[in-house]
Structure 1
Amino acid sequence: MRARVRERVPVVVQSGGRSRPGARALWLGAETAVTCGVLVLLLVVHQLWWTNREARAEALDQVRVLEREWDISPEGESEGESSGASEVESSGGSEVESSAGASGAPSVGSSAEASPGASGESGAASPSPSAAFAVLRIPRLGLTVPVAEGVSKRGVLDKGYAGHYPGTASPGSVGNFALAGHRNTHGEPFRYINRLRDGDEILVRTRARSFVYRVDLVLASTAPRDVGVIRAVPRSLVRPSYGYSAPGAYLTLTTCTPEFTSTYRLVVWAKLVSAR
């Protein structure tokens, strides 16, 4: 007699639709982390790419506007620049400010604040605040940017301009023609001024005249509130061995250092060598 074999059919029991609270919280946490990561990435792209793109375009447009107003041929200017021409026109103007953050300006006070003790000797009337009045060119860096009065972030530096410290000398004048610019973001015109060396030319042009300065000293790092670097006779108050002891026609470039920080300030000094 054959034994009967019973076949058992497996039964799959599905759990209810409820998820465990821990798993749900983990899922929400992962979604939040991904969303935050995307937002941070977009912010970084905006700061490091989009602001540079916009600011550079606006700055170059302003250079063209100034040159048209001065009736200067862009073709002729390009030829002079590529061949190492050493002349640029310049007209009066003076103003000072400081900026914290990645503005590139030393914090001689606080952002957009005038620097006490920074004075220049300028017989020309000062341009209107935030108004572009000169063009700065640095052949070694391939840099061409407008110079505007003041160093406020919103009104000047974030446009990709070099900002003229209020109270410092006008271009070509005896005293210190002091400028600030962003090291990173918003056009970052002064990003590579650390590459400048003794003898490099810096050209400044305004409606009236052209000036050529020659790099003389580089102060790799100083405190944000070292106002001595933009005084009429520039000398660091933090590192007194850097600077000058006699009046002259100086140009000062300031920006933040190290890159992507505002911890210290990088300073480049140049002396006037010719004008026409």
Structure 2
Amino acid sequence: MAILEAPPPEKSRGRGGRAVRTVGELLITAGLVVLLFVVYELYVTDLFSAEKQASATAGLDQDWAQGRELHSDLIDGKAFAKLYIPSFGADYHFTIQEGTDAAALEVGPGHYKGTALPGEPGNFAVAGHRVGKGSPFNDLDLLSSCDAIVVETQSDFFVYRVLPHSDELANWATGKGKQPQCAKVSTLRTDAPGGGPYGQTVGREVVSPDQGDVVAPVPHQPADALPAAQQVALLTLTTCHPQFSDKQRLIVHAVLTNQFPKTPGATYAQLLQAIGGA
């Protein structure tokens, strides 16, 4: 009976093979770490923020029900208004906190301290995350000119509408500007050189992170460019751009078109009927 010989051992691949294997293992580990981080940012932080947002909303509702005045005495990190965007669906609503630090933005959109309050002349500016932590401004790039953005305070509903986009300016009066929802939306341009103080203000723009003048009382102008009495009442929303990156900022500018004092029992649904939906 023949005896089968054991196969010869494989030749060692040497240091090069071990190095390749080690690098491969490190890459797999790094990939898993990145995947876990993405899951955490996209889903886990959303859950945490949803809880904080619900708590902030409940606290704000309680303050309003008890008649506590919040409009003129804002407290860092405390909710003072609500934000609705009808074109994002009836269930889209967030409380707005005072401040734009990390803690405030984990709860929801945050008001840039020192900018105008809702309905006031100047620029009521609000920041929000685009990905993770509730993602309140994830779809900000989908807003079209004249889309409504509603801010609710203790006493009023303020309706802002997105300004014309840069490619709509030239034909605004004879084009989209003739649509019913755009009746109170203009380009804000004058016959002055460069279009006047608001000559650089459009409904949507992408800027670098250091371009803080987008939230100035008159966007892209010095703070004293116009006296307060001559300033338009604007709303500015800011978020990171593109998605999953903070290299730039996506900016949406809107102008105040309506103010509805709240009556007992007034609801957001009733407001939508009054303004004809989005």
TM-score (norm 1): 0.66
Q: Pick from 230, 234, 254 the counterpart of residue 270 of structure 1.
A: 254
Matched, 1:145 2:94: yes
Partner of 2:208: 223
- Whole-Å separation in 1 of the counterparts to 2:208 and 2:25: 43
Question: Deviation digits for residues 29-79 of structure 1, max 9, x if unmatched?
Answer: 44433332222211111112211232133213322331233239xxxxxxx
Q: CA deviation at 1:14?
A: 6.7
Counterpart position of 1:195: 142
Distance 2:208 2:13 in 1: 57
Question: Does the 8 Å contact 1:91/1:209 carry over to 2?
Answer: no
Read off the aligned partner of 2:215 and give its amino acid letter: I
- Residue segments in structure 2 that go unaligned for 5+ positions in a row: 165-202, 222-229, 262-278
1:54 alignment partner in structure 2: 48
- CA-to-aligned-CA distance 1:114-173 (integer Å, 9 cap, x gap): xxxxxxxxxx33x111111111111111321111111112x11123x1111111111112
Please tell me whether residue 177 in structure 1 is matched to residue 161 in structure 2: no
Distance in 2 between the 1:31 and 1:225 partners? 39
SS of 1:156's equivalent? Answer: helix
Does structure 1 residue 134 correspond to structure 2 residue 81? yes
Q: Which structure has the highest helix share of the two?
A: 2
Whether the 8 Å contact between 2:121 and 2:233 is mirrored in structure 1 is: yes
User: Per-residue CA shift, 1:215-244, capped at 9, x if unaligned?
Assistant: 224123123222332111x2336xxxxxxx
Aligned to 1:34: 28
User: Are the equivalent residues in 1 in contact too, given 2:129–2:137 (CA < 8 A)?
Assistant: yes
Per the TM alignment, residue 13 of structure 1 is displaced from its structure 2 partner at its CA by 6.6
Q: Summarize the Cα distance change of 1:188–1:14 in structure 2 as closer, same or farther, 3 Å threshold.
A: same
What TM-score, normalized by structure 2, do the two folds share?
0.66
Amino acid at match of 1:59: Q
Give the structure with higher Rg (CA): 1
In structure 1, what is the equivalent of residue 243 of structure 2? 259
Could you tell me which runs of 5 or more consecutive residues in structure 1 were left unpaired when the two chains were aligned: 1-6, 73-89, 93-123, 238-245
Alpha-carbon distance between aligned partners in 1 of 2:214 and 2:13, rounded to the nearest angstrom: 65
Alpha-carbon RMSD across the aligned residues, in angstroms, is 2.9
Closer, same or farther: CA 228–40 of 1 in aligned 2, 3 Å = closer
Q: Paired residues, what number?
A: 211
Over the matched positions of the two proteins, sequence identity in percent amounts to: 33
**For structure 1, which segment, 177-186 or 216-225, has the greater mean C-alpha deviation from structure 2 after superposition?**
216-225
Deviation of 1:176 (Å): 1.2
The 8 Å contact of residues 91 and 208 in structure 1, kept in 2 or not, is answered as no
Mapped partners of 2:154, 2:132: distance in 1: 29
Shift of 1:252: 1.0
Where 2:65 maps in the other structure, the secondary structure is: coil
Distance (Å, rounded) in 2 between the aligned partners of 1:183 and 1:248: 27
> Is this contact kept in 2: 1:257–1:266, CA < 8 A?
yes
Highest RCO, 1 vs 2 (Cα 8 Å, sep ≥ 6):
1
2:56/2:78 contact within 8 Å kept: no
Residues 194-224 of structure 1 show CA distances to partners (whole Å, capped at 9, x for unaligned) of 2222222211122233322222241231232
Shift of the 206–28 alpha-carbon distance from structure 1 to 2, 3 Å rule, reads same
- In structure 1, what is the Cα distance between the partners aligned to 2:160 and 2:6? 86
Separation (CA, whole Å) in 2 of partners of 1:227 and 1:29: 43
Could you say if the C-alpha distance between residues 21 and 65 of structure 1 is closer, same or farther in structure 2, counting changes exceeding 3 Å?
A: same
Equivalent-residue separation in structure 1 for 2:2 and 2:250 (angstroms): 83
User: Could you tell me which amino acid in structure 2 is paired with residue 47 of structure 1?
Assistant: E
Pairing partner for 1:209 from 153, 156, 160 = 156
